[in-house]
Structure 1
Amino acid sequence: MLTLYCDFKGDKNIENQKLIAIDLDGTTLNSNSKLTDRTINTINKLNQTKHIVTIVTGRPTRLVTDIYRQLNLDTPMINFNGSLGFNPIQKWQYEYKYSIKRDIALHFANNSEKLGINLITAEDKELFLANRPAEDEALGFFPTKLKSENILSESSLKVDPICLTLEVRPEKEQDFIKYVKDNFEDELQISPWGGPNSIIEIASGGVNKVTGIKRLADFYNIKQEDIIAFGDEFNDKSMLEYAGFGVAMKNGQPKVKEIADDITELDNDHDGLADYIEKHFKI
């Protein structure tokens, strides 16, 4: 039987059941957006304990399901930076979603040239639409081929989407962010990815990863002090601040590291998450 011990700084209740929230890109995944064998094995060992591992990511469901299966999870997961929470393999009584008004999504699509938007996607749990295919495979998130039924238009977008993801021209990024804040401040949450590409996510106002973390903690009856969160980017900052113990990746943004309780010794290309879990949970 696997025995687990915790030695997190300042945690006096080390025997309590923990809710362990893991971000994906830049954290659980390497720079090639892949899981390593070491990470898979480490999470599988952690799954065998009383502790609860869950994915909390900005990714849409279409880019998480395979990773979820590889990690052999059965817990609910949080997608779209907190806007959707559900369990992929069984009904979850706390399933939820927050949406953006359809008219707002179409406004951005119809004014893409003026606003400096190269690509825009509108997504729901099982919906994916884009204004056009990506020319650069390096963008990854945006497909280079689209079926006709996946072209974003007034006729194809029939519901309020959960999230919009946009690639804007770099010189227009700050202007676009200001435009959204000036015109939709109370309705929308805007989250730039950072990194080499000007990618921006737009979701319902006031929603972030903490929205999902709270729902999970309530479901599992986990106290805030017993939440452990791992992340690297700006969209992880609120989650790391809220968690009882927030861990930033070595490769994380400086401002994320500043607010973290600890930082991994290794980056995401050298199994930093797995290494940290192995050492601090003694598995």
Structure 2
Amino acid sequence: MKRKLIALDLDGTTLNNDAALSPTTIKTIQQVAAAGHIVSIVTGRPNRISQQFYDQLGLKTPMINFNGSLGHLPHKHWDKEYQYTFNREIVFDLMQHQREFDVEAMAAEGKTLFLANQTKSLVYGFFPSALTKQQVLTRQSLQQNPTSLTIALKRDAQPRFIAYVHEHYGDQVDVNSWGGPNSVIEMGAKGIQKAVGVEFLAHLYDIKREDVIAFGDEQNDNDMIEYAGTGVAMKNATAHLKAIANDETAYTNEEDGLADYLQKAFHLEKTVTA
């Protein structure tokens, strides 16, 4: 079989509902990689909370984080690494409007950057329950332009917040809301989506677009699914993603839907691990 590039979203796709890799998923992905295919994680997560999955899978390929804004080789210095950022003055302005928009927490991040402020302890899994003095986001502590800004706020404040960002900084950043139960908004450099990272990988490995297989479940996967020669929506994906995808898994992320699809597509012996 011709070598494929397989782009894996994490949450709701490769990970189960406990945000973990099942033994079946690990074994299946390792089999596909051992067969010579390029398997890469392409996630909205920052590298600080995705690298453990990269290591569990035993991957050696570049990882794409922050919805396409960071492409790097974990644990190594890599001369092809890239990172898109936006002006930190945008963060400073939004910090001045935190109370107006009922912002509960705000985190500015990059590959080696994590600064946050929060008005109460949150249990989203993304924001730490407590911050060290060195992690507190202030005008003085944020000395570099961030790659990503993540904001937790009251659900009914989302439309006003997004409208404000569009009006004042729409030419510099993109803003999207998370799916799922938590009211969270993320911002990144204008025009940078997961498809940017997948295209970077395809060129790096000289793989044609038609030989790219991408898996996703949420709206931040839309561009990646459209870019891929075979865009695969999870059974648990949004209706819009299913509508633009080329195919759909038979099972959800909780039922090893990704592993099942790969086993069938690459004619692997079905792996069932307790």
> With structure 2 as the length reference, what TM-score do the two structures score?
0.95
Once the two structures are superposed, what CA deviation does each residue of 1:28-60 show, in whole Å capped at 9, x if it has no partner? Answer: 001110111111111111110121000000000
**Structure 2 contact 42–65 (Cα < 8 Å) conserved:** yes
Q: Secondary structure at the match of 2:221?
A: helix
Shift of 1:133: 6.8
2:138 paired residue among 153, 158, 176: 153
> With structure 1 as the length reference, what TM-score do the two structures score?
0.92
**What corresponds to 1:130 in structure 2?**
116
**Structure 1 contact 133–146 (Cα < 8 Å) conserved:** no
**What corresponds to 1:183 in structure 2?**
168
**Structure 1 contact 99–161 (Cα < 8 Å) conserved:** yes
Q: Which amino acid is 1:85 matched to?
A: G
Q: Distance in 2 between matches of 1:18 and 1:128?
A: 34
User: Is 2:78 the partner of 1:115?
Assistant: no
- After superposing on structure 2, the runs of 4+ consecutive aligned residues of structure 1 that deviate more than 6 Å are none
**What corresponds to 2:205 in structure 1?**
220
**Structure 2 contact 109–149 (Cα < 8 Å) conserved:** yes
Q: Distance in 2 between matches of 1:23 and 1:246?
A: 12
Q: Secondary structure at the match of 2:100?
A: helix
User: Is 2:63 the partner of 1:63?
Assistant: no
CA RMSD in angstroms, aligned pairs only: 1.1
**What corresponds to 1:234 in structure 2?**
219
**What corresponds to 1:7 in structure 2?**
none
User: Is 2:4 the partner of 1:30?
Assistant: no
**What corresponds to 2:58 in structure 1?**
72
**Structure 1 contact 188–206 (Cα < 8 Å) conserved:** yes
Q: Distance in 2 between matches of 1:231 and 1:53?
A: 14
**What corresponds to 2:271 in structure 1?**
none
Overall identity of the aligned pairs, in %: 46
**Structure 1 contact 133–142 (Cα < 8 Å) conserved:** no
Query: Structure 1 residues 82 and 36, CA, compared in 2 at 3 Å: closer, same or farther?
Result: same
Q: Which amino acid is 1:273 matched to?
A: L
Q: What is the number of equivalent residue pairs in this alignment?
A: 268
Structure 2: tracts of 5 or more residues without a match: 269-274
**Structure 2 contact 121–130 (Cα < 8 Å) conserved:** no
